[in-house]
Amino acid sequence: MRTVRLHLDRSWGRILMPALLLAGLGQTLPTAGAGPKLDLRLRSRVETAPASGQCQVVEKAEAWEPTQTAIIVCDMWDLHHCLNAVRRAKEMAPRMDQVLKLARERGVQIIHAPSGCMDAYKDHEARRRAIETPRSKSLPAEIGKWCYQIPAEEKGTYPIDQSNGGEDDDPAEHAAWAASLAKMGRNPKAPWKSQTELLTIVPETDLISDSGEEIWSVLEHRGIKNVVLLGVHLNMCVLGRPFGLRQMAKNGRNVVLMRDMTDTMYDPHSAPRVSHFAGTDLMVEHVEKFVCPTVTSDQLLGGTPARFQGDKRQHVVFVIAEDEYKTETTLPVFAAAQLGRNYHVSYVLGSTTERNDLPGLGILAVADTAVISVRRRVLPDPQLALIRAYVAGGKSLIGIRTASHAFAAAGNKPAPAGHTSWGAFDPEVLGGNYHGHHKAGEKVTVEPSPMETAHPIRQGVDATKLVGHGSLYKVSPLAKTATPLLVGTIPGEPSEPIAWVNAPASGGRVFYTSLGHVDDFADPQFNRLLRNAVDWTCGRGGPSVATTEPPVGVGSPGK
């Protein structure tokens, strides 16, 4: 992944940008004629049942008319009182400018909204045209004001504590930065005067405004019903400004957040005491649950989503497409409770309209571990090629239950034209030998395998307390490269391995378990087993202490 490294000179007076670009910018971008519509995948978190408190990750494909779409750039200021915020904004800006360039060429209206900086643009054509837009005769109530919460957010708990302002600077660096700002004649508490020069403003097409009433009038006057918000900071300005996500969502605009083109004001010393980047992930999850869907910049630019170079967390990608065990619900809950503090988590979800389609598999290129929970999806050839390339590259992998027949056609049916099955994924990669299952209804008694007593995945897992709630899979004999960790038994039938590790010819660490029934995820022993497997496949050597505390904070949705 390409990254941008940022440095400050000794005077702290200016930010120096090297020639490197953020992830994905070295790739060829689509031209203006590449397609009339914007093909987007909108990700949301949808409650599985009213008042259940459990959400499943859902992606919905939409094709937006560019001329009915606007991108609002929120508060990408030239300077900020938080030095680390400046660094991250500078890092985002080159890729963000590419997003704006491509969208502009396709006919999307670009609106620059550097709040409090309108004086810098009083003679700018883009500012003049925003002012001259006829004022809407049906302005929503309070569209000119900050919005601190919408009713949907009352259903959840705000995920981070931002009561201290969210600055995450080193104290000594922060003091030096404040002194440098003062020396420049800037107010150290509010030093912004304009938008960063790293973002292009095209006078002939773009608009400049920080007014909710002006921006709403522009949307109505130009027939714009779709809005993309990007910029900083998600937990404050992007959500709360008069033109922000909350106002757009509550007043009926089809609004999304570009989640890899934003940042938060969050100090890791505050609750829930996770890394800065994990705090941003929690805010994105909050938005997806209660405010609006999200998209990523690669959906326009190609490649993979952008990621800050300072985000050193290992990347776990969940690939989910099965209809039997509700892992689109259970795995995100597991990830939030067990992985959110230490890992970067992404999802690839089966299409809601086409069974044999897993859009977004390109993210595997930057995964450290892939968790496969898929059942009998015969993929288009390019998508299966991405899975094969991931495996061939010696990357680590975890298989959950139906992964043993993830890419195998049912009943040896021929694959559709342009699609290919991979029935050998089980023996070749997982080291298994799935050939059916015993009748449902019998709970599976679990015991440790005598073949491997000290494996890190077994550490802290009391197998005698573990019970399998799904039907026992018939998998014997395993491949010679596989080592059983746990064995399951039902009355009157021979025991079967239910968890093992494998050393495939391609390399990489592989773990598989036929556990994964929805009720298994309520068992702390199973959650510990799966968390240990993530740690082990990511090369951490041994298990971390798994947490049962949900990753939520005690913050207030204030400014």
17-44 exposure pattern, b = at least 16 Cβ within 10 A, e = fewer: beeebbbbbeeebeeeeeeeebebbbbb
pLDDT of the residue at 541: 56
pLDDT digits (tens, 9 = 90+) for 76-133: 999 999 999 999 999 999 999 999 999 999 999 999 999 999 999 999 999 999 999 9
Q: Are 309 and 3 in contact (CB under 8 A)?
A: yes
Q: What is the pLDDT of residues 59-72, one digit of tens each?
A: 999 999 999 999 99
Residues 512-555 have pLDDT tens digits of: 999 999 999 999 999 999 999 999 999 975 443 333 333 333 34
CA-nearest of 488, 477, 502, 318 to 425 is: 502
Fold of 66-301: Rossmann fold (3.40.50)
Report the phi/psi class of residue 213: left, alpha or beta, with left for phi > 0 and alpha for psi in -120 to 50. alpha
**Which residue bears the tokens 């050393």?**
503
Residue 10 three-state SS: coil
Q: What is the pLDDT of residue 140?
A: 97
The pLDDT tens digits of the residues spanning 456-500 come to 999 999 998 999 999 999 999 999 999 999 999 999 999 999 999
In whole numbers, what is the pLDDT of the chain averaged over residues? Answer: 90
Question: Given this chain, do its domains 66-301 and 314-537 carry the same CATH topology?
Answer: yes
458 Cβ contact list (under 8 Å, min separation 6): 448, 452, 485, 486, 529, 532
Q: What is the mean pLDDT of residues 22-30?
A: 35
What is the widest separation between alpha-carbon atoms in the chain?
85
| Predicted confidence (pLDDT) at residue 54 exceeds the cutoff of 90 | no
For the residues 303-309, what does the mean pLDDT come to?
Answer: 95
pLDDT single digits (tens) 378-393: 999 999 999 999 999 9
Predicted confidence at residue 49, as pLDDT, reads 76
For 275-358, where are the alpha helices, taking DSSP H only?
Answer: 276-290, 298-301, 327-338
Domain ranges, ordered by start, for the chain: 66-301, 314-537
Residue indicated by tokens 């990608």: 317
Distance between CA atoms of residues 127 and 324, nearest Å: 54
Which residue, among 270, 297, 511, has the nearest Cα to 404 in the 3D structure?
A: 511
pTM for this model (two decimals): 0.84
- HSE-up of 382 (CA within 13 Å, CB side)? 6
Q: What per-residue confidence (pLDDT) applies to 379?
A: 96
350 pLDDT exceeds 50?
A: yes
Look at residue 73 and give its three-state secondary structure.
Answer: strand
Q: What is the DSSP string of 218-271?
A: HHHHTT--EEEEEES-IIIIIHHSTTSHHHHHHTT-EEEEEEEEE-----TTST
Residue 412, pLDDT score: 75
pLDDT exceeds 80 at position 397: yes
Beta-strand pair 314-321/343-349: parallel
Q: Is the dihedral of CA 268, 274, 280, 284 positive or negative?
A: negative
Q: Report whether pLDDT(15) > 70.
A: no
CATH architecture of the domain formed by 314-537? 3-Layer(aba) Sandwich (3.40)
Count how many Cα atoms sit within 13 Å of the Cα of residue 300 in the half-sphere of its side chain.
Answer: 29
The predicted structure's pLDDT at residue 29: 35
Q: What is the pLDDT confidence band of residue 176, given thresholds at 50, 70 and 90?
A: very high
Give me the mean pLDDT over the 172-183 stretch: 98
